[in-house]
């Protein structure tokens, strides 16, 4: 086959999407109880009303027809209507996307600044004090409940010191939630940058760059970082992909009306189309961003392109 590599990659995600959507559909079929009763939110109704509603939702069809209709609708972005709001799920998601996106970007920013700074500091002096402190605090980091950290930040900086507002839509209300997310991103990122840097710094071309008389900053910034950048970018890309689906916990702690808190509410109110739509959106975004990352590597690094061919 002589298809260009990127078209092959793009077509490659079709089965993955298809399988993912099928799993979501299959899992939600297992919900006990009559979906029509859930759709009506427990209001008493006559058999006739129930039958009408069943027909309207397509629930009178056999499961395989429902499944095919579901796949067809997902493929064109029709996520159905929510039970409680009766609004199209895609519009509901679009309306709540901004708070989640802002938080994702804010968290990413904090994570990158902190992670890159710590990673470089630790990687340039392995076993120095920054490195030792960072590596030994890694286990503490993964053990910290993010919702607890968020609450402690609110208590100290919001309530006691009153440096930042803890509620609202403004950019300043984004500071604490971004730090909450960023702290957890920074840990993984710093470790990746550290190990990549330690490896690259021993390469011959770095020694050559040094011996050419280049400044240390230039060697690190231009020669070492460039080659150490792919694993950290992968990590960030995947984290971002998760975050645009809504930072479920952080949104809850800071009472932000994003996609994450919408998912929790949808589960609690048993709004099945909304749960389904949100999970389809989240997983699809994840798969697509994954694809974009791979295409990006193919462009940046020709070796990857030929390996995939």
Partner 1 sequence: MTTAAPAAATTILPPRRLIARTLGAPGAVAGSIILAVLVFGAIFAPLLSPFDPNATRVCPRLAAPSFTHFFGCDLFGRDIFSRILYGARLSLAVGLLTVAISLVAGTIFGMVIAFLGGRVDRIGVRLLDVMLGFPAIVLAILIVAVLGVGAFNAALAVGISGIPRIARVIRSATLTLVGREFVESARAVGASQTRILRRHLLPNLLPIVIVLGSLDLGGAILSTATLSFLGLGAQPPTSEWGAMLSAGREFMRYAPWTMIFPGLALFLAVMSVNLVGDRLSHVLDPRASGHG
Q: What is the DSSP letter of 173?
A: G
Q: What is the DSSP letter of 128?
A: S
CB of 193 to partner 1, least distance (A): 18
Q: Which is nearer to partner 1, 33 or 213 (CB)?
A: 33
CB of 16 to partner 1, least distance (A): 6
The 3-state DSSP composition of the chain as helix, strand, coil percent (nearest 5) reads 75, 0, 25
Is 89 near partner 1 (CB under 8 A)?
Answer: no
Stretch that binds partner 1, among 46-54, 197-205, 229-237, 278-286 (CB under 8 A): 278-286
Structure tokens at 11: 């077509």
Q: Strand pairing partners for 88?
A: 81
Quick one: angle between helices 89-124 and 272-300, nearest 10?
Answer: 40
**Token match 């979501």: residue?**
24
Q: Which is nearer to partner 1, 28 or 214 (CB)?
A: 28
Identify the residue among 283, 293, 294, 298 touching partner 1 (CB under 8 A): 283
Is 267 near partner 1 (CB under 8 A)?
Answer: yes
Phi, psi dihedrals of residue 41, rounded to the nearest 5°: 65, 30
Q: Which is nearer to partner 1, 27 or 171 (CB)?
A: 27
Q: Which is nearer to partner 1, 7 or 159 (CB)?
A: 159
Question: Euclidean distance between the first and final Cα of the chain, in Å?
Answer: 10
CB of 284 to partner 1, least distance (A): 10
Is 272 near partner 1 (CB under 8 A)?
Answer: yes
Interface with partner 1 in residues 49-88 (CB under 8 A): none
Separation CA 30–CA 74 (nearest Å): 19
Is 100 near partner 1 (CB under 8 A)?
Answer: no
Separation CA 248–CA 282 (nearest Å): 12
Q: Which is nearer to partner 1, 206 or 238 (CB)?
A: 238
Q: C-alpha angle 249/177/189, rounded to 5°?
A: 85
Is 253 near partner 1 (CB under 8 A)?
Answer: yes
Write the CA distances from 80 to 57, 90, 92, 275, integer angstroms. Answer: 9, 8, 11, 11
Is 263 near partner 1 (CB under 8 A)?
Answer: yes
Write the CA distances from 121 to 109, 112, 217, integer angstroms. Answer: 18, 14, 12
Identify the residue among 3, 49, 75, 142 touching partner 1 (CB under 8 A): 142
Is 161 near partner 1 (CB under 8 A)?
Answer: no
Is 202 near partner 1 (CB under 8 A)?
Answer: no
Residues touching partner 1, count (CB under 8 A): 42
Q: C-alpha angle 126/131/136, rounded to 5°?
A: 130
Identify the residue among 49, 68, 129, 155 touching partner 1 (CB under 8 A): 155
Three-class secondary structure of residue 95 per DSSP: helix
* CA 11 distance to own-chain centroid: 22
Identify the residue among 3, 11, 14, 19 touching partner 1 (CB under 8 A): 19
CB of 306 to partner 1, least distance (A): 22
Is 97 near partner 1 (CB under 8 A)?
Answer: no
Binding footprint of partner 1 on the chain (CB under 8 A): 16, 19-20, 23-24, 27-28, 30-31, 139-140, 142-145, 147-148, 151-152, 154-155, 159, 242, 245, 248-249, 252-253, 263-264, 266-268, 270, 272, 275, 279, 282-283, 286-287, 290
């Amino acid at each position: 086959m002589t298809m260009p590599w990127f078209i092959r990659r793009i077509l490659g995600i079709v089965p993955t999407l298809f399988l993912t959507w099928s799993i979501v559909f299959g899992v939600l079929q297992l919900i006990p109880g009559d979906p029509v009763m859930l759709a009506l939110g427990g209001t008493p109704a006559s058999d006739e009303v129930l039958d009408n509603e069943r027909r309207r939702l397509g629930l009178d069809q056999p499961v395989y027809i429902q499944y095919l209709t579901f796949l067809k609708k997902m493929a064109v972005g029709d996520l159905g209507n929510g039970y409680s709001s009766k609004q199209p799920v895609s519009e509901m998601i679009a309306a709540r996307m901004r708070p989640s996106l802002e938080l994702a970007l804010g968290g990413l920013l904090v994570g990158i600044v902190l992670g890159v700074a710590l990673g470089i500091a630790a990687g340039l002096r392995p076993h120095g004090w920054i490195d030792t402190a960072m590596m030994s605090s890694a286990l503490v980091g993964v053990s910290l409940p993010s919702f607890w950290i968020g609450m402690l930040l609110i208590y100290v900086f919001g309530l006691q010191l009153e440096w930042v507002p803890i509620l609202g839509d403004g950019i300043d209300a984004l500071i604490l939630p971004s730090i909450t997310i960023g702290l957890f991103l920074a840990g993984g990122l710093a470790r990746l940058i550290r190990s990549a840097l330690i490896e690259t710094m021993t390469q011959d071309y770095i020694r050559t760059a040094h011996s050419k008389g280049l400044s240390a900053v230039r060697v690190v910034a231009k020669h070492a970082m460039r080659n150490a950048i792919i694993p950290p970018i992968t990590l960030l890309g995947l984290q971002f992909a998760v975050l645009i689906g809504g930072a479920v916990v952080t949104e809850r702690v800071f009472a932000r009306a994003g996609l994450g808190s919408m998912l929790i509410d949808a589960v609690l109110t048993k709004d099945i189309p909304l749960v389904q739509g949100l999970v389809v959106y989240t997983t699809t975004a994840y798969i697509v961003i994954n694809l974009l990352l791979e295409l990006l590597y193919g462009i940046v690094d020709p070796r990857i392109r030929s390996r995939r061919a």
